[in-house]
Amino acid sequence: MSLEDQYDAWVRGLMGGGRYAATPKQAEDANDAVQQMQAQLDALTEAQKRQTAAGSALNAVQKAGAATAESVRRMSSELTKSLKQDGLLGGTVAAPSPAPAVPAKADFAGVTEKIKAQVLGQDAFVSALVKAFRRPFVLGTADDTAHARSVMLLCGPNGTGRHYALQCVVDELAARGVLHSAAVETLDLALYPGPAQEKLFLQDLYAALQSDAEVLTFEHYESCAANYLNMLATLAMDGTLALSSRYVLQRGILVDVGTALAPGAIGELQAGGKYFVFYSNKGETALADHFGAKFVDAVAGDICRTEAFTPEALAAVAARELNYLAQRTRRQCGLALTMGADVRDLLASQYGKTSGMQAMRDYCETVYRAIAEYVLDADETPTDGTPAALTAEDLEPLHRLLSDPAVMRYLEPPFTRAQTEAFLQKAGMGREPLIWAVEDGRGFAGYVIYHPYDETSMELGWVLASDRWGRGYALALTRQMICRARENGRDAVIECHPQQAATRHIAEKLGFRPCGMDGGCCVYRLAGKNE
Per-residue pLDDT of the chain (531 residues; tens, 9 = 90+): 555 565 565 555 555 555 555 567 766 766 776 677 677 767 767 766 776 665 565 455 445 554 555 555 555 555 445 544 444 444 555 555 555 555 557 889 999 999 998 888 899 999 999 999 999 999 998 888 888 999 999 998 888 889 999 999 999 999 999 999 999 999 999 999 998 898 889 889 988 998 899 999 999 999 999 999 999 998 988 888 888 777 777 666 677 776 555 566 777 888 889 999 999 988 778 888 888 888 888 787 789 999 988 889 888 888 888 888 888 888 888 777 777 787 888 888 888 766 677 888 888 998 899 888 877 876 555 554 456 677 777 889 999 999 999 999 999 999 999 999 999 888 887 778 899 888 887 788 899 999 999 989 999 999 999 988 888 889 889 998 998 888 888 999 999 999 999 999 999 999 999 999 998 899 999 876 544
Question: Does residue 39 sit within a domain?
Answer: yes
Mark whether 33 and 151 lie in a shared domain.
Answer: no
Q: Which of these three, 305, 325, 351, is where a domain ends?
A: 305
- Residue 416 is classified by DSSP as P
Question: Does residue 71 sit within a domain?
Answer: no
Question: Does residue 83 sit within a domain?
Answer: no
Question: Does residue 106 sit within a domain?
Answer: yes
What pLDDT, on a 0 to 100 scale, did the predictor assign at position 465?
A: 93
Q: By C-alpha distance, which of 372, 378, 428 is closest to 398?
A: 428
Mark whether 152 and 209 lie in a shared domain.
Answer: yes
Q: Does residue 184 contact residue 167 with C-beta atoms inside 8 Å?
A: yes
Mark whether 100 and 214 lie in a shared domain.
Answer: yes
What pLDDT, on a 0 to 100 scale, did the predictor assign at position 103?
A: 57
Mark whether 419 and 489 lie in a shared domain.
Answer: yes
Mark whether 486 and 411 lie in a shared domain.
Answer: yes
What pLDDT, on a 0 to 100 scale, did the predictor assign at position 336?
A: 73
Can you give the residue range of the structural domain that contains 42? 3-64
| CATH number of the domain to which 192 belongs | 3.40.50.300
Mark whether 244 and 111 lie in a shared domain.
Answer: yes
What pLDDT, on a 0 to 100 scale, did the predictor assign at position 292?
A: 82
Q: Which of these three, 377, 406, 432, is where a domain ends?
A: 377
Q: By C-alpha distance, which of 322, 333, 325, 367 is closest to 439?
A: 333
Question: Does residue 52 sit within a domain?
Answer: yes
Question: Does residue 467 sit within a domain?
Answer: yes
Cα–Cα distance between 151 and 132 in angstroms, integer?
A: 8
Cα–Cα distance between 529 and 64 in angstroms, integer?
A: 87
Question: Does residue 81 sit within a domain?
Answer: no
Mark whether 170 and 234 lie in a shared domain.
Answer: yes
Mark whether 336 and 399 lie in a shared domain.
Answer: no
What pLDDT, on a 0 to 100 scale, did the predictor assign at position 219?
A: 93
Mark whether 241 and 122 lie in a shared domain.
Answer: yes
Can you give the C-alpha Rg of the chain in angstroms? 39
Mark whether 133 and 278 lie in a shared domain.
Answer: yes
Beta bridge partners of 461: 449
Cα–Cα distance between 364 and 318 in angstroms, integer?
A: 10
Question: Does residue 531 sit within a domain?
Answer: no
What pLDDT, on a 0 to 100 scale, did the predictor assign at position 102?
A: 56
Domain count, the chain: 4
Mark whether 338 and 428 lie in a shared domain.
Answer: no
